[in-house]
């Protein structure tokens, strides 16, 4: 379902207001987390990764770093689970690593509510129905996040994303925002390992034979043709 022009304007106004309020209220926390990351992992403090947004267009998503940049002898990044630090694990479990995405909201790349923006390499792996998740702006939180988060399998998560795209409304957004606050406070649906050991999305073809469950992602990953 497409939002009316009036609702689209109101949604954007709500995004800007909430993101601005969030940055203003959380700036001491942002500085504290930045200092902690800098002390433990060095620079840069922020991690900018290519993700896919509205109409399948790429943008740079901002996060606090949670992993080191350790590489193997051949120069390849080590698996996420080997690079995730203790501080990074805590940041992920508390969702504090996501706070810089409020800047993405202010820039118009993201909304407060929408499907989570995923990796560029997933684009050719989606079914036509799963591609519908790109018909709305991606969000800091979303319908899938309040209905199981990373405890869900990929097909369930993506179907919830499509359901949101088909039923998007301001009322639904407000419901998701309120539910998100409760989940964060209660630390519900947090997976063991803070998500570092999760399989990536392989689509209908499945993972490569004898290949790893997931590959590390470089900051400048491009969209596969």
Q: Which two tokens stand for residue 134?
A: 């790109």
Q: Residue 195 has what pLDDT?
A: 57
pLDDT digits (tens), the chain, 225 positions: 678 888 899 999 999 999 999 999 999 999 999 999 999 988 889 989 999 999 999 999 999 999 888 888 887 788 787 888 999 999 988 889 999 999 999 999 999 999 999 999 999 999 999 999 999 999 999 999 999 877 889 999 999 999 999 999 999 999 999 999 888 777 665 554 455 567 889 998 888 887 777 777 777 776 655
Pick from 76, 156, 145: nearest CA to 115: 145
Other Cβ atoms less than 10 A from the Cβ of 39: the count is 9
Token pair in block for residue 142: 């979303």
Task: Report DSSP state, residue 143.
Answer: T
Distance of alpha carbon 179 from the chain centroid: 17
pLDDT in tens, 180-207: 988 877 766 555 445 556 788 999 888 8
Predicted local distance difference test score (pLDDT) of residue 79: 79
* 142 CB-contact burial (10 Å; exposed 0-12 / middle 13-18 / buried 19+): buried
Whole-number Å distance between alpha carbons of 148 and 141? 12
Task: Return the closest-CA partner of residue 144 out of 153, 136, 132.
Answer: 153
Residue 91 φ/ψ, nearest 5 degrees:
-60, -40
Where along the chain do its domains lie?
5-190
How many CB atoms within 10 Å of residue 223?
A: 15
- How many CA atoms lie within 13 Å of 62's alpha carbon, on the beta-carbon side? 17
Burial class (CB within 10 angstroms; exposed 0-12, middle 13-18, buried 19+) of 170: middle
| DSSP bridge partners of 64 | 46
Strand, coil or helix: what is 44? coil
Omega before residue 44 within 30° of 0, cis: yes
CA atoms of 213 and 197, how far apart (whole Å): 8
């Amino acid at each position: 379902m497409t939002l009316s022009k009036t609702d689209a304007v109101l949604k954007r106004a709500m995004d800007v207001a909430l993101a601005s309020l969030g940055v203003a209220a959380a700036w001491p926390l942002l500085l504290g987390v930045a200092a902690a990351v800098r002390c433990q992992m060095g620079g840069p403090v922020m991690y900018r990764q290519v993700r896919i947004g509205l109409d399948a267009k790429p943008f740079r998503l901002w996060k606090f770093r949670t992993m080191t940049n350790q590489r193997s002898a051949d120069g390849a990044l080590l698996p996420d689970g080997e690079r995730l630090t203790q501080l990074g694990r805590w940041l992920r479990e508390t969702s504090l690593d996501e706070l810089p995405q409020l800047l993405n909201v202010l820039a118009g790349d993201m909304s407060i509510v929408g499907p989570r923006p995923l990796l560029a390499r997933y684009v050719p792996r989606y079914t036509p129905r799963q591609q519908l998740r790109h018909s709305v702006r991606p969000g800091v939180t979303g319908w899938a996040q309040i209905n199981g988060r990373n405890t869900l399998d990929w097909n369930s998560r993506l179907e919830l994303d499509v359901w949101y795209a088909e039923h998007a409304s301001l009322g639904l957004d407000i419901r998701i925002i309120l539910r998100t606050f409760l989940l964060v406070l209660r630390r519900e649906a947090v997976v063991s390992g803070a998500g570092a050991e999760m399989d990536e999305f392989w689509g209908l073809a499945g993972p490569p034979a004898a290949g790893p469950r997931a590959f590390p992602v470089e900051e400048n990953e491009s969209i596969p043709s």
